[in-house]
């Protein structure tokens, strides 16, 4: 089969997945008495090629997310001509910050002071403003990233005070094996506290392929969907 047909086939597949995900978002919004326009669908393209990012863009996706700088940097460069907002959603080491600040529009995984300072410096150097979300841990166990709930407000204040950063809101990943609705309700409470001091920080990034419905019920404004859009990833061993 020619490359053209392979691409067309993949585009049809992505279009069908996208329609299905949009339907789920609409149904969850209807059930929660919300407007589907309030939800931003962020396509998590990690482990998939730049050609998929391009197809998603052609299909109307405006937001894409990556979690590893090594993969994200070349993909963003290959898609520079596309009208996309790039989100960084992975655990971020300070030695990668300079690279991430060169292509990311939104960093969703800000979880410590040191990172705020490094992102501010890198954004200033790059002559860019970076939108940031404070990632909150919804899991007692360590290791998946995210600030402890008690540290979220102080981090939000630090981002808001940084010269080259904008505080957009909060992000979280539901704990493995837990009740996502209960976890997202905890995130919603902290998000509301952040908005008391920072009314413009309205983003609540929560919900993935398996739990976007409870996230929308609990007030998510952004859902981050990988598998349901792009198909199964190969397991990444860390």
Ligand X SMILES: *Cc1c(COP(=O)(O)O)cnc(C)c1O
Q: Which residues bind ligand X (CB under 6 A)?
A: 44, 46, 67, 89, 173, 208-210, 224-228
β-bridge mates for residue 64, sequence order: 43, 86
Based on CB atoms, which residue is closest to ligand X, 121 or 211? 211
Among 138, 140, 156, which Cα is nearest to 201's? 156
Based on CB atoms, which residue is closest to ligand X, 105 or 157? 105
Q: Which residue is nearest to ligand X (CB)?
A: 226
The minimum distance between CB 89 and ligand X, in angstroms, equals 4
The minimum distance between CB 6 and ligand X, in angstroms, equals 23
The minimum distance between CB 227 and ligand X, in angstroms, equals 3
The minimum distance between CB 145 and ligand X, in angstroms, equals 8
Based on CB atoms, which residue is closest to ligand X, 155 or 171? 171
Based on CB atoms, which residue is closest to ligand X, 89 or 167? 89
């Amino acid at each position: 089969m020619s490359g053209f047909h392979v691409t067309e086939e993949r585009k049809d597949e992505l279009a069908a997945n996208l329609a299905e995900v949009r339907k789920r978002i609409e149904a969850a919004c209807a059930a929660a008495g919300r407007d589907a326009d309030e939800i931003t669908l962020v396509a998590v393209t990690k482990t998939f090629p730049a050609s998929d990012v391009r197809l998603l863009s052609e299909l109307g996706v405006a937001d894409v997310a990556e979690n590893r700088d090594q993969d994200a940097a070349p993909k963003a460069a290959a898609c520079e001509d596309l009208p996309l907002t790039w989100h960084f959603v992975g655990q971020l080491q300070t030695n990668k910050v300079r690279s991430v600040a060169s292509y990311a529009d939104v960093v969703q995984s800000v979880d410590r002071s040191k990172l705020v300072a490094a992102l501010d410096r890198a954004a200033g150097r790059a002559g860019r403003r970076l939108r940031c979300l404070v990632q909150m841990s919804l899991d007692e166990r360590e290791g998946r990233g995210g600030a402890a709930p008690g540290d979220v407000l102080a981090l939000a204040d630090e981002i808001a005070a940084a010269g080259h950063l904008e505080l957009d809101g909060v992000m979280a990943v539901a704990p493995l094996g837990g009740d996502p609705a209960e976890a997202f309700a905890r995130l919603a409470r902290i998000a509301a506290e952040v908005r008391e001091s920072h009314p413009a920080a309205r983003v609540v990034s929560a919900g993935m392929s398996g739990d976007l419905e409870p996230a929308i019920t609990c007030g998510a404004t952004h859902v981050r969907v990988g598998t349901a859009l792009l198909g199964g990833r190969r397991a990444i061993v860390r």
